Amino acid sequence: MGVQAVSTPQDGATGRLRAPYRSVLDLIGETPVVELTRFDTGKCRLFIKLESQNPGGSIKDRIALSMIADAERYGRLAPGGTIVEATAGNTGLGLAQVGIPKGYRIILVVPDKMSREKIQHLRALGAEVRLTRSDVGKGHPEYYQDMAEKIAASIPGAFYVNQFANPANPLAHESTTGPELWSQLAEDVDAIVVGVGSGGTLTGLGRYFAKVSPKTEMVLADPVGSVLAPYVKTGELGQAGSWTVEGIGEDFIPPNCDLSFVKKAYSVTDKHSMLAVRDLLSKEGILAGSSSGTLLSAALRYCREQTVPKRVVTFVCDSGNKYLSKVFDDFWLAEQGLAEREQHGDLRDIVARSHREGGTVLVGPDDTLLTAYGRMRRGDVSQLPVLDDGRLVGIIDESDILAVLEGPYDGRWDRFNAPVKSAMTADLHTLQAGQTLDALLPVFERNEVAIVFDGDDFFGLITRVDLINHLRRNR
């Protein structure tokens, strides 16, 4: 039987199959829109614009292009110059994506809560990353925006981008994102649900739609802890809290953020954001970052509240592949207190990786020390339970391995092949799952890890880090 040719759908208007582009920078913008059909959207139709399809993976490529072009046009950036920015990651990726091929040096000040993948991506692109604290506010010398401004002032000819006040930021959305949406949704849009980082998206789209479609409502999706949604609702600027989603939510109102466009604002918990973005992947096959969960959650609430049919659009602001070790990692969610987990009021609540759920990274007594060490590194843990046929027979930690390796240099490599049972601690003090947190303190005082059993069954380990995480979650 011959091979059947599979016909490829072509979307006549723009054509997805076209001649090669000369540069990936030509791929910024003109992102596709998909209708979400597997969610309960009430009387409404909900669409989502995939900004994750930009070459840098986020909505920020658009503003990087426009802010660099603007600085070049007005002489604030000359060939060989330095670009400095304070960024949660995506603007930095956009700036590096656009700026590095043009020969600019890129220095980015990034708060330390940002995902490892974003930082690795930035460094691999060739940007210089300066990490700073994410737990301090404006006015503190280590606040990321103040630090970036100071670095820029210390380098002759450096251009401090300042996406929070740079007019070329909202202009990018007014002149590209807005017209694209308008045309893609057949000039009929009732509501646009956006998040605010710098306010560029909100303000740019607000300005464009005020001109072409005054009926279009701008809806704000904001993380709980941010000051923006409460300000829209009460007119008062409160104290900021903390939140986990990246790239949106603020502790101040940026100059580029014109909240007068907002008709309705929703505060969304981290938990709801995480659930929504995981649903987006499992229901619709769309891999998005955590903030897109905030937007989707608010958009679904807005849709379900409407009493007449409306056409609503929101964004996938960045791709979820930067967050695989966070939002899409069940253990990370549990550690953050964001997983749906039954609480027992005893030691079971503190075990981050329960053996019963297959979460424990473990080793066998006849495995080599090299295997044990490899599992510790990959699992990001410092000790492993040693199980023989399902029965706990010991614990091995980094110092046990080191104790075997120390000694004469000759033969050190061979000692990596020694079995785990020759190095492990077999004299185990165990706790029962039903005990309370107080039982942990004497264990940690002896510099041991707590080994928890449920009856005769090994339940899991509790380290100092697990206890600290538990106390932080329940503070």
Ligand X SMILES: Cc1ncc(COP(=O)(O)O)c(C=O)c1O
The residue annotated as part of the active site, out of 49, 60, 310, 322, is: 60
Binding track, positions 355-394, relative to ligand X; x by CB under 6 A: ----------------------------------------
Can 113 be counted among the known catalytic residues?
A: no
**Of these, 41, 52, 54, 90, which contacts ligand X (CB under 6 A)?**
90
Which of 56, 99, 195, 230: binder of ligand X (CB under 6 A)? 195
Residues binding ligand X: number (CB under 6 A):
20
Q: Which two tokens stand for residue 193?
A: 């649900």
| 248 lies in the binding site for ligand X (CB under 6 A) | yes
Q: Tell me the closest approach of the beta carbon of residue 132 to ligand X, in angstroms.
A: 19
In the chain, count of helices (H) and strands (E)? 16, 15
Is 228 an interacting residue with respect to ligand X (CB under 6 A)?
Answer: no
Shorter beta-carbon distance to ligand X: residue 89 or 99: 89
247 forms part of the interface with ligand X (CB under 6 A)? yes
**Does the protein bind ligand X through residue 277 (CB under 6 A)?**
no
Report the nearest approach of ligand X to the CB of residue 467 (Å). 32
In SS3 terms, 160-226 reads as ECCCCCCCHHHHHHHHHHHHHHHHHCCCCCCEEEECCCCCHHHHHHHHHHHHHCCCCEEEEEEEECE
Is position 291 annotated as part of the catalytic site? Answer: yes
Using the rule CB under 6 A, is 317 a contact of ligand X?
A: yes
Of 110, 220, 295, 376, the residue at the interface with ligand X (CB under 6 A) is 295
Q: Which of 52, 273, 291, 319 is catalytic?
A: 291
Which residues, at least 6 apart from 16, have a Cβ–Cβ distance to it below 8 Å? Answer: 9, 10
Convert 247-285 to b/e letters by CB count within 10 Å (16 or more is b).
Answer: bbbbbebbebbbbebbebbbbbbbbbbbbbbbbbeeebe
Contact of 338 with 271, CB cutoff 8 Å? yes
Rounded to a whole number of angstroms, the minimum distance from the CB of residue 431 to ligand X is: 42
C-alpha 295/C-alpha 299 separation (Å) is 6
Q: CA 88, 382, 332 angle in degrees (round to 5)?
A: 40
Please report how close the Cβ of residue 246 comes to ligand X at its closest, in angstroms: 6
Q: Is 276 in the site for ligand X (CB under 6 A)?
A: no
Beta-strand ranges (E) seen in 81-137 are 82-86, 105-111, 128-132
Kindly tell me which of 245 and 401 has the beta carbon lying closer to ligand X.
245
Interface ranges with ligand X (CB under 6 A): 59, 90, 194-202, 247-248, 289, 291-292, 295, 315, 317-318
Please list the active-site residues: 60, 291
